[in-house]
Amino acid sequence: MSAPTGAGAGYAPRRIGPRRIGPFEVPAVGLGCMNLSHAYGVPPAPEAAERLLLTAVEEGVTLFDKAALYGFGANEELVGRVLAGHRDRIVLASKCGMTGVDGRRVIDGRPETIRRTADEALSRLRTDVIDLYYLHRLDPKVPVEESVGAMSELVAAGKVRALGVSEVSAATLRRAHAVHPVAALQNEYSLWTRNPEEGTLAAARELGIALVAFSPLARGFLTGAPPDPDALPASDIRRGMPRFDAHHYPANLALRSELARLAEKAGISLAQLALAWVVSQGPHVVAIPGTRSVAHLRENLATLDADVPGEVLAMAGRVLNAATVRGARYNEAALAEVDTERCGRAG
C-alpha cells in the first residue's frame, strides 16, 4: 500500500499552514475519533459516525486518531471500515499499551502485548501498515525502553511507519527517543491544561517531534454549548473529573464567559479561539479535537483560515490558564496513571 499523500492534497492553501509529523505533512487540525465510540456516554449511531468521518475526508482532514482502547476495538473497526477506500489520502494513527480486557481498562506495555495489539489493530483498520503508532500509556512495570523497543520492531517489520508516545514527561520522551526516533508526542494541551509547558512542549520542539494536543477544546467546555455536568450520562468520563464537579465548575464557567466575549469581539467562535491558541504555541503543534457533529467539524476546520490577532490569543491565555482554572484535570487515581509533569493546582 502506498504512503498517504499528506496534508490537504488538492485543497487551497490555509492561513495556518500544515505541520510535520515524522514523514507526514498534515493540517494543523486533525480529528480525534475517540468520542465516536468511547468515553462520552452513548456513542452516535453508526450512520452518523460514518457521515462525520466521510465529511472529514471531504473537508481535507488527513490525520485520524484512534486507539485500541476506544470502544475496546470498536473505534478502530469503525474507522477501518469507513475509510478503507480513502487509505491513500489519510494518516492513520492508533495506540497500544492500554486496552480493554474482560470489560476493564488495562495498561500493559509488555513487548508481547504490543506485538499482539498491533496485529489486531492492523486487522481492524483493514490496512497492512499503521502510519503513526503510539504507546498510549507508560506501563510503570515495564521500562519505556522495552515498550518502544518492541514498537521499533514493528517499524522494522513494515507494520508501522512512525512511532509516538502519549501522556509522558519530557524525561520519558527523551528515553523513548533514544531507543527509536519518536515522531509525535500526544499529550493533553489546551487553554486550561498547560502541563506541556512544564517541559514537553520545549523538549518536543528541540527534538523535532510533533506535539499532538488532545482535548484542545477542554472536553467540550470551550465550545458553543458547554456540558451540563448534572445531565451527563453515568458513563461519561467527565463525571469523574474535578473541573466539572459542583465545587469548581461555576468558577470555570465564569472564565469561559470571559473567553466567549473575547471570541465574539474577534469575530470567531469560542472553539476557534481555543484551537487557534493551541496551534499558535509552536510550529510543531497539531490539535486533534473530537466531535460528533458535522457542523462542529466544519467550525473547527475553519480555524485554519482564521486570522486571530496575537493580542487576542495572548489575552485568552491570560484569562484561562493553570493558575486560573479550578480543579485538576483528572482525579488522583487517574493522575497516578500518567507520567506527565504536573502543573500547579491543575494536576
pLDDT by 10s per residue, the chain, length 347: 334 544 444 455 789 999 999 999 999 999 999 999 988 888 999 999 999 999 999 999 999 999 999 999 999 999 999 999 999 999 999 999 999 888 889 999 999 999 999 999 999 999 999 999 999 999 999 999 999 999 999 999 999 999 999 999 999 999 999 999 999 999 999 999 999 999 999 999 999 999 999 999 999 999 999 999 999 999 899 999 999 999 999 999 999 999 999 999 999 999 999 999 999 999 999 999 999 999 999 999 999 999 999 999 999 999 999 999 999 999 999 999 999 999 866 56
Q: How many CB atoms lie within 10 A of CB 145?
A: 13
Instruction: Give the pLDDT of residue 1.
Output: 35
Structural contact between residues 25 and 153, judged by C-beta atoms closer than 8 angstroms: no
d(CA 276, CA 303): 6
Q: Going from the N-terminus, what domains does the chain have, and what CATH number goes with each? A: 20-218+275-306 (3.20.20.100)
CA 264 distance to own-chain centroid: 26
Alpha helical stretches, state H, the chain: 46-58, 74-83, 111-125, 144-156, 170-179, 200-207, 249-266, 270-279, 294-301, 310-319, 332-335
Say what the pLDDT of residue 12 is.
59
Let me know if 70 is a catalytic residue. yes
Which has the closest alpha carbon to 185: 160, 151, 217, 162? Answer: 162
Q: In what order do the strands lie in the sheet with 130-135?
A: 31-32, 63-65, 91-96, 130-135, 160-166, 182-188, 210-214, 285-288
Cell of 158: 513494515
- Cβ atoms of residues 170 and 9 within 8 Å: no
The residue type of 40 is Y
Residues in the chain: 347
Residue found by looking up cell 468558577 in the block: 251
Residue 347, all three cell numbers: 494536576
Helices and strands counted in the chain (H then E): 11, 12
Element of type H or E holding 287: strand 285-288
- Residue among 77, 86, 80 at smallest CA distance from 127: 80
The pLDDT score that the predictor gives to residue 9 is 42
Distance from first CA to last CA of the chain, Å, rounded?
Answer: 43
Q: In angstroms, rounded to a whole number, what is the distance separating the alpha carbons of residues 121 and 133? A: 10
- Three-class SS state of 183: strand
Q: Which of 40, 70, 134, 249 is catalytic?
A: 70
Contact 184, 176 (CB under 8 A): no
In angstroms, rounded to a whole number, what is the distance separating the alpha carbons of residues 252 and 266? 21
Q: How far apart are CA 170 and CA 346, in angstroms?
A: 18
Q: Are 62 and 7 in contact (CB under 8 A)?
A: yes
**What is the structure's pLDDT at 312?**
98
The pTM is what? 0.95
Alpha carbon distance 334, 332 (integer Å): 5
Say if residue 17 is exposed, middle or buried (CB neighbours under 10 Å; 0-12, 13-18, 19+). Answer: middle
Q: Which residues contact 116 (CB under 8 A, 6 or more apart)?
A: none
> CA 302, CA 288: separation in Å to the nearest integer?
14
Sign for the pseudo-dihedral over CA of 252, 322, 341, 222: positive
Answer yes or no: are the C-beta atoms of 187 and 340 closer than 8 Å. yes
For residue 156, what is its C-alpha cell? Answer: 522494522
Pairing mode of beta strands 91-96, 63-65 = parallel
